[in-house]
Amino acid sequence: MTVVGWLEGLIQPDDLINQLTFIMDANQTYLVSERLEREERNQTQGRPGERKKREEQERKRRKEEEVQQQRLAEERRRRNLQEEKERNLECLPPEPSPDDPESVKIILKLPNDSRVQR
């Protein structure tokens, strides 16, 4: 804010209006440029509430993108794990028949208390 005129003492209403009009006319170009700058600032920055709302929306959007990326990464990891399991199964020889004299029966107990028999 800048002081563009100074009035002191008792002034008649007509004189006040004349002096204010003169001051405004003398500083018209400055006033117009300041008004334009203020409008530009308001348009770019918005009102404080709107800016806060936009920032909150931006944070929310970033968080959603992050969650989506995590989901995609988890899905890719699962898919890769499944593909690796399938490749490993293809490398295993076929199971021998139960009555084959050369076969051995193996039972594995897994950490989740389930048993795998081969």
Work out the average pLDDT over 34-39.
86
To which H or E segment does residue 28 belong? helix 28-45
SS3 107: strand
- Is 80 exceeded by the pLDDT of residue 108? yes
Residues 5-14: pLDDT tens digits? Answer: 888 888 888 9
Q: Is the pLDDT score of 48 beyond 70? A: no
- Please list, in sequence order, all residues whose beta carbon lies within 8 angstroms of the beta carbon of residue 26, skipping any fewer than 6 positions away: 4
Q: pTM, whole model, 2 decimals?
A: 0.40
- Work out the average pLDDT over 34-60: 79
Q: What is the pLDDT of residues 49-98, one digit of tens each?
A: 777 888 888 899 999 999 999 999 999 999 999 999 988 888 888 877 87
Residues 6+ away with beta carbon under 8 Å from 105: 98, 117, 118
Confidence of residue 32 (pLDDT cuts 50, 70, 90): confident
CB 31 within 8 A of CB 24: yes
Q: Which residue has the tokens 């920055």?
A: 45
Predicted confidence at residue 46, as pLDDT, reads 58
What percent of the chain has a predicted confidence (pLDDT) above 90?
22
